[in-house]
Amino acid sequence: MEDEVRVAVETDDDLVTARAEGRALAQRLGFQRPDPTLIATAISELARNLVMHAGQGEIIMRSLREERRHGLLVIVRDEGPGIRDVDAALRVGHASRGSLGLGLPGARRLMDEFEVDSRLDEGTTITMRKWRVRDELELLRERRERRQAT
C-alpha cells in the first residue's frame, strides 16, 4: 500500500500546505521526532525556492516501504529557468536573487539523500529521501498481523 500526496505549488500559501502535508505523511509512516519537523522544514525551503525562481511547480511525496526500513520520498519539480551551477547552489552562502543561499544546502543537511537534476530553460527536479530503520518489535508485530489476517 503506497501513500502519495501531490501539492501544486504556486503561491506563498501553498508552502504552508506543502509542509503540513509532508509532516502528516512522515507521521503516518512512523517517523519519530524530530524527523517530521526536519522533513517539513526541508520541503518548506524547496517549495520557497520553487515559487521564487520558477513561479510554479509540483511537490510529490510518496511512501517507500522496504522490509527493513521505511522512507519518505519527496520530488520537487518545476519547469523554470533551471540552476546554472548546481554545485555552487549547494554551497552555503551562494546567494541568489532574494535569498541568502541557505535553502538548498540546509534542506540537503536535513534529509538523508538529495539529488538535483537541473537543465537550463527546461526546469529543475530535486529528489530527496529520508529513511527510518524498522526495529524488531515493529517487524514482529507486522508478521503477527499478517498471520492473523490469513
Partner 1 sequence: MSVAILRTGDYLVASIQSDLSDPEVLALRDELLERVGRLRALGIVIDVAALDVIDSFAARALCSIALTAKLRGARTVVVGVQPDVAIAMVHFQLNLEPLHTALDLDEAVALLERETRRKRPDGG
Residues that bind partner 1 (CB under 8 A): 12-13, 15-16, 19-20, 23, 33-34, 36-38, 40-41, 44-45, 48, 92, 99-100, 102-103, 105-106, 109-110
User: Which CB sits closer to partner 1, 34 or 143?
Assistant: 34
The β-bridge partners of 130 are 72
Closest to partner 1 by CB, 15 or 74:
15
Q: What is the SS3 assignment for 53-85?
A: HHCCEEEEEEEEECCCEEEEEEEEEECCCCCCC
- 41-62 burial, b at 16+ Cβ within 10 Å, e below that, comes to bbbbbbbbbbbebbeebbbebb
The C-alpha cell that represents 78 in the structure block: 518545476
* Pairing, β 123-133 against β 4-9: unpaired
Least distance CB 139 / partner 1 (angstroms): 26
DSSP letter (8 states) at residue 128: E
Nearer to partner 1 (CB atom), residue 98 or residue 150? 98
Shortest Cβ 98–partner 1 spacing (Å): 10
- 99/127 with CB nearer partner 1: 99
17 versus 125: smaller Cβ distance to partner 1 = 17
Grid cell 512522515 is found at 26
